[in-house]
Amino acid sequence: MADTFFRAGYIESWGRGIEKMLTAFQEAGLPEPIFEESWGGVMVTLLKDIYTEVHLRTLDINERQIRAILFIKEHGSITNTAYQKLNNLGKTVSTTELIDLSEKQLIEKVGTTGRGTRYVLKGRNGHK
C-alpha cells in the first residue's frame, strides 16, 4: 500500500513521515503526538494542549509544579522569584523544582542566570 502511495506522489520518501510530523508539531508549539501499539496496529493521539491540570496530574510532578505550569500557561512565563511567591518557598527549593520541570521537558529556561532568567512552556516562545 505504501509503495502505491509513493509511486502516486502522495509521500515523498521512505521513513521520514514521522520525523517531519514531529518537527512540524514542535515548530507550531504543539505537544508531540502519542504513538501507541494497539490491537495489532498503531494508534496516534494528537494533543491540543498537554498543559491541562488533568494531564499534569498524571505526570511525576508535585502540586507546586502543577501550579507553576498553569501560571506560565496563563501569564506566558515565570521567574524564580514569582515561583517562590506563588508557592511560599525559599530560593533553593524553588530552583530545584524549576530545574526538575526543565529536565522533564515541560518548561525551558530563557535568558541568562539571575534576574533576566524566566521559564516558559517547552516549545513555546513565552507569549500568552
What's the pLDDT tens digit per position in 29-72? 677 788 888 888 888 888 777 788 888 998 899 999 999 999 99
Query: Among 7-16, 59-68, 74-83, which stretch is predicted with the lowest mean pLDDT?
Result: 7-16
One domain for residues 62 and 117: yes
Average pLDDT (74-85) is: 96
pTM of the model: 0.64
State the total domains in the chain.
2
One domain for residues 60 and 38: no
One domain for residues 13 and 61: no
Q: Alpha-carbon dihedral of residues 11, 13, 18, 24, nearest 10 degrees?
A: -80
- Say if residues 122 and 107 touch (Cβ distance below 8 Å): yes
- Say if residues 65 and 76 touch (Cβ distance below 8 Å): no
Whether pLDDT at 126 is above 50: no
